[in-house]
Structure 1
């Protein structure tokens, strides 16, 4: 029998995860989603065949896994409303909210719970996500496998043993899609300056990014070697790469990811001290 999974929140990320689960064969009847938006719940029930409700506590009462998928700013209020139901059921807690530590979530939910923190990214919405996961000491091997199953429905999963490393995950993959979107923007603009129509430059840039990522995933070589394979001595690519290196590209990425990780630490401190909205 499939584990009963309840999603607290039915927004884009929650919908991507349970949608991927269903597409991969997970029974829709074992999934419940909650939301204050009645129209949203009606649509999800019709489209996906899942159970829906606006009663968070009732949805948790029979859950083996509770996925917290609400905004970090309202998480404390939501958790405190779930505390009694969670303590009675003691399900695995999986949080996809940024910036809230496992200890903070555990405290808000009454304590002594198995908690998995997940840092997904937006390509999860198209089944091409990259998620970093961390489990506290109360999470069993079976629960780790279950959390892996949930998140592999929308992409790849990497576990980290130190919760602080989720800040690095945020810097590399959580925020990473925006870095690549910026590269695509820059390549399109550069192509236009060189005379290409904007639509042509965009299609070429996007397909080149997709092709490069696909090659890197499938190749036995690391990205450095793949780069060298494209760089003929004295050729066009070599000159372009030297220009990027001389412009400090690596240092820019190092600075950007450190700034991202620092902000993640700040947010964790701010959110951990927050009080529920009244």
Structure 2
């Protein structure tokens, strides 16, 4: 783990990455952070990470093996201008949502080695899911390095075609919000039945968290697991009759995911 990492942007995802790297044994001296915000610099210092508010100076001084781009999508083009000097020798790993490899290469140069990543928010506790894709300038060794870097915050999936990234964004990138909405709905329903809010919240959160882990650790697929816990004529079947009536939930979820994928495609072209 001697690769020199330059992390540009130290918000929630940047901090999740650094915490993951440190937790997996990477030495703080191999990481440098660039972020102009005082609170970000303070957070980096608390972890023993060298940090700078100066975009261009840090980029030239570090001569990083990997430049991890963790800034907001609207900032990315301006930030990239400062790091073109590293194109050709550094690997660029971007987690900026909606920004394509072609868009990055248009600024960094056609020969730049670029990996695009889409992590999700459970990365904050090391349980994220990250999809990755790369251009042809990324070697097998560098792909393996990116797998190692992103595995520090959860599981990793490589895509053969970048066009799949819109679907990935819609399913796993935005997916935590769908699950959180489900938790909200369960809490509200529990309260309507007379449970106090705190108890309803514990029941809903614990049920969703436990069921996700159960599904992850089982060899059966989700449909099989659902059938196994649905007794004929029981309470679960009564609820599912409502949720699955005329395919309502499936149709609604499909519409939602398609809307997210469509918006992801629109953002990629903006």
Q: Please indicate the TM-score interval, normalised by the length of the shorter structure.
A: over 0.9
Identify the residue that residue 250 of structure 2 maps to in structure 1: 250
Q: Which residues of structure 1 form unaligned runs of 5+?
A: 271-278
In the TM superposition, 1:151-230 aligns within 5 A as 151-230=150-229
Q: In the alignment, which residue of structure 2 is the partner of 1:17? A: 17
Larger RCO (CA under 8 A, 6+ residues apart)? 1
Q: Secondary structure at the match of 2:219?
A: coil
Secondary structure (helix, strand or coil) at the match of 1:123 reads helix
Q: Secondary structure at the match of 2:244?
A: helix
How many residues end up aligned between the 2 structures? 267
CA positional deviation for 1:60:
3.0
- What corresponds to 1:86 in structure 2? 86
Q: Per-residue CA shift, 1:242-275, capped at 9, x if unaligned?
A: 21000600011111000000000111111xxxxx
Unaligned runs of 5+ in 2: none
Shift of 1:90: 2.0
How far apart, in 1, do the equivalents of 2:13 and 2:110 lie? 26
Q: Which residue of 2 aligns with 1:71?
A: 72
Answer yes or no: is 1:59 the counterpart of 2:22.
no
Alpha-carbon spacing, 1:31–1:179, altered in 2? closer, same or farther (3 Å): same
In structure 2, how many angstroms separate the alpha carbons of the residues matched to 1:165 and 1:39? 36
TM-score normalised by length of structure 2: 0.95
Q: CA deviation at 1:57?
A: 3.1
**Shift of the alpha carbon at 1:18?**
1.3
Quote the offset at 1:134 in angstroms: 0.7
Further displaced range: 34-43 or 173-182: 34-43
- 1:124-159 deviation line (CA, Å, top 9, x unaligned): 112111111111111111111111111111111111
Q: Give 4+ residue runs of structure 1 displaced > 4 Å after superposition.
A: none
Q: Are residues 1:134 and 2:133 paired?
A: yes
CA distance in 2, matches of 1:231, 1:75: 48
Report the alpha carbon displacement of residue 82 of structure 1 after superposing the two structures with TM. Answer: 1.8
Task: Give the whole-Å Cα distance in 1 for the aligned partners of 2:57 and 2:147.
Answer: 25
Alignment TM-score, normalising by the size of structure 1: 0.93
Render the CA deviation track for 1:83-105: whole Å, top value 9, x for unaligned. Answer: 1x223x62110000011100110
Mapped to 2, the partners of 1:43 and 1:8 lie a distance apart of 14
- Structure 1's 54 and 257: CA in aligned 2 closer, same or farther, altered over 3 A? same
- CA RMSD of superposed structures (Å): 1.3
For residues 51-89 of structure 1, the C-alpha deviation after alignment (integer angstroms, 9 at most, x for no partner) is 212233333332000001111111111111221x223x6
Higher deviation after alignment, 97-106 or 49-58: 49-58
